A and B are shown apart, each in its own frame.
Chain A
């Protein structure tokens, strides 16, 4: 695999292709290894100029967003709120530990895990089918466009490829909470709501990643089989899947970590599990109960995280096989636990409700204040996500180097463990909770929403970035040190430049996700399209909801285009 993966993957979160032995090894600028270094040197001047312009643009955009949010124009910090916020943090040392609540927490934890397991399993299934059907390999006419290597030529592709890629965009552009809201109106009170709300958007993301994996696998054997008269499926089964298998499995487990967090967000809209209990306790501000649930969530995330990380780091065939078996067992257990009613999907009532909602949702309509309102809120969403990502990246870059595993004395190890714990906690507390906490001390408006998303995404970006640091080639820094350079210089001239490109790539990917996530902080009055969607949902105004969701998709497409352009010019 090459740098192309980093440019084309538009997933929610990713952290897969960073293994030292993995194909992502080539690094973001192709500047690892001898050939890469030579290429990098040749390209550097233009590369630097582009980077400078992007930085100027970024600074201007962040400044504009801050100004719009009222920073520098009005009071933004409400110092009176610290005591109220303090109640939440004080409760951290005295979580609710009554046996009744612990039982409830355990059950909610199992439900959350079950949702994540089934959602992931279905997403991977959808991803495999969709990945094949949207891969260039599948649609390429035999013998056409044989460019070899990473040469990318579109000729020889059938129209089906374009249709597939296009169809993949919609499910990805909508946040899983929105899917949940939509599905609950049709499927009612059934676990299928939570499972599908995870599986649909994640399935589309997985399909995209798998399609790229398939296309990046050396095509020679596949073409040879095809030329010998074998069918497309058989050729894929014998020539592509065996090669890409470890990556496919490893990515599936990575997706699981994301699903656990999604299952919690879904719970907050009523699907069950830890998020549901958290929301019930959140409504009446029972902080002690909230902490018990948060700790349960931290534990589950940590385990999911460790499982995925171990698999990524040493994906020996035995380990992959054991994980697949364990996953199969978990799927069965989850079906037993949730007891989803698959029959509901095709029941007469589901069809009736879907038809009713479809009828009232079409044609899409504008919000009360028309196009002006929709555009204003779309801009607000972009600004919120931009501020969130700027904050998250700034914090994450700093912490990533501390949190990275490996090396150093005992003090360094303790600091690393603490940093990882902080990252784990920040991403375990769901964005709506962060939003309320921030709202206690920052006056209402887009700013508290941006800060809440910034803190949450700091947890995710920090983890992804620390993984980048862990996987860095240590040799340049060691070489500098051996030549007598002080640690700071070795860091500044060897470590930092090597990680900068990847950091930027991760931040840019998360930006698009953050824009979709503004939906889940809209519920506490943070503004933007999420706020609007919540209002329309309270009024059951389905046609306006469709209009707002369309705007949300448009926003993420625009962000995707901008970030793709940025990544291209930074390469």
Chain B
């Protein structure tokens, strides 16, 4: 937050006129999307798509900000964003310098902001998975291969956020392989719950017979015991595909000096699980290391995106 202490005090005393009870304020770490970056500053703004618990995102990205600040010698700030499409728009507008996008949003971001640089993936992003879940009363049971997904025909089905790779795009891809077309074969229109967690709860409630989400979120929910497994169960885990990746915007070199994007890439790849200083950061990312990546890895995602008209 930008507000200097005197400003905060002034604001508070004024708002007291509105009879709002004012407690201590001036928390400099509270996230907000409202503060503009003064033009010409040298703060690297990093962000991530809102694919999980915001508190967790703050923790992960604050750790990454600290690491990058030390490794790159610039000030780094984490900017939380509450919407997948908005994060792409802000990246395009140059308000976010480095973003940990999902597979689809990454492709969209590179198409919207030509000249962006692909930086790195996590090792786990090389083999990412989605799970299909179903209500226990839905009549859809565990299946052994992709073809089994045909069991969802005639059922009520929900995806997560529309632009989510693991909650929408790849599930559509595997459903398609099983001969299921989402617009045609479900009862009613397919739902877009908005997030992986909402998908779980809506299927558990029985509002939808089935849903698809990020396998990592499902595993976390099961481990935390926040899902009633007498009501909703996993019926299929998809084959692996490539997902999340870091991208730097087209103006990073211009703003931070030539070769900056390459330096950032090297800094990510230099993270070493054996180095005790890096262990916690990698643990937060549920990864052992970051690995190089290339545009060719996302051709499939791009072509599915085009087919679903998520990329035009």
Contact = CB atoms under 8 A, between A and B. Distances in A.
16 contacts: A84-B204, A85-B205, A104-B27, A104-B30, A113-B15, A188-B89, A189-B95, A191-B34, A268-B82, A280-B80, A284-B52, A303-B20, A332-B14, A336-B10, A344-B36, A523-B192
Nearest to B158: A525
A81 B93 contact: no
Contact of B82 (A109, A188, A276, A441): A276
B62 to A, nearest CB: 13
A26 interface: no
A78 B84 CA distance: 30
A411 interface: no
Given A184-B86, A188-B90, A525-B158, A441 B205 contact: yes
A381 B15 CA distance: 40
Given A281-B54, A349-B93, A272 B201 contact: no
Nearest to A188: B93
A190 interface: yes
Nearest to A285: B197
A339 B19 contact: no
Interface residues of B, number: 76
Interface in B164-222: 188-195, 197-198, 201-202, 204-208
8 smallest CB-CB distances across A and B, nearest first, come from A188-B93, A272-B34, A81-B205, A80-B206, A280-B54, A189-B95, A525-B191, A333-B14
Nearest to A185: B89
Interface in A266-303: 268-273, 276, 279-286, 299-300, 303
A78 B202 CA distance: 11
Interface of B: 1-3, 7, 10-11, 14-15, 17-20, 22-25, 27, 30-37, 39, 50, 52-54, 79-86, 88-90, 92-96, 108, 112, 137, 156, 158, 161-163, 188-195, 197-198, 201-202, 204-208, 231, 309-312
B205 A106 contact: no
Interface stretch (A32-40, A478-486, A531-539): A531-539
Most buried by B among A184, A341, A344: A184
Contacts of A80: 137, 205-206, 231
Contact of A185 (B36, B93, B94): B93
Contact of A299 (B20, B195, B201): B20
B14 A330 contact: yes
B24 to A, nearest CB: 7
Contact of B195 (A284, A349, A537, A539): A284
B15 to A, nearest CB: 6
Contacts of A439: 191, 202, 207
B34 A271 contact: yes
Most buried by B among A186, A337, A524, A541: A337
A78 B207 contact: yes
Contacts of A285: 195, 197-198, 201
B30 A270 contact: no
A444 B188 contact: yes
Interface of A: 78, 80-81, 83-85, 100, 102-104, 106-111, 113, 184-191, 194, 268-273, 276, 279-286, 299-300, 303, 307, 326, 329-330, 332-333, 336-341, 343-344, 347, 349, 353, 368, 436, 439-445, 523-525, 527, 531, 534-535, 537-541
Nearest to A329: B14
A219 B185 CA distance: 65
Contacts of B207: 78, 81, 439-444
A497 B240 CA distance: 68
Given A280-B50, A444-B208, A541 B312 contact: yes
Nearest to B7: A336
B15 A271 contact: no
A349 B197 contact: no
Most buried by B among A84, A103, A269, A443: A84
Question: Could you tell me the dominant secondary structure of chain B's interface residues?
Answer: loop
Given A336-B11, A525-B158, A280 B205 contact: no
A271 B33 contact: yes
Contacts of B310: 538-539
Contacts of A107: 1, 25, 27, 30, 32
A561 B297 CA distance: 54
A83 B205 CA distance: 8
A217 to B, nearest CB: 31
A103 B93 contact: no
A333 B10 contact: yes
A414 B161 CA distance: 44
A78 B10 contact: no
B34 A330 contact: no
A272 B193 CA distance: 22
B220 to A, nearest CB: 10
A111 B194 contact: no
Contacts of A344: 36
A338 B95 CA distance: 17
Given A191-B36, A270-B86, A440 B311 contact: no
Contact of A189 (B11, B36, B190, B193): B36
A335 to B, nearest CB: 10
Contacts of B193: 436, 524-525
Contact of B201 (A337, A347, A440, A534): A440
B36 A540 contact: no
A283 B82 contact: yes
A337 B11 contact: yes
A524 B194 contact: yes
A273 B156 contact: no
Most buried by B among A113, A281, A440: A440
Given A189-B90, A303-B18, A333-B15, A339 B205 contact: no
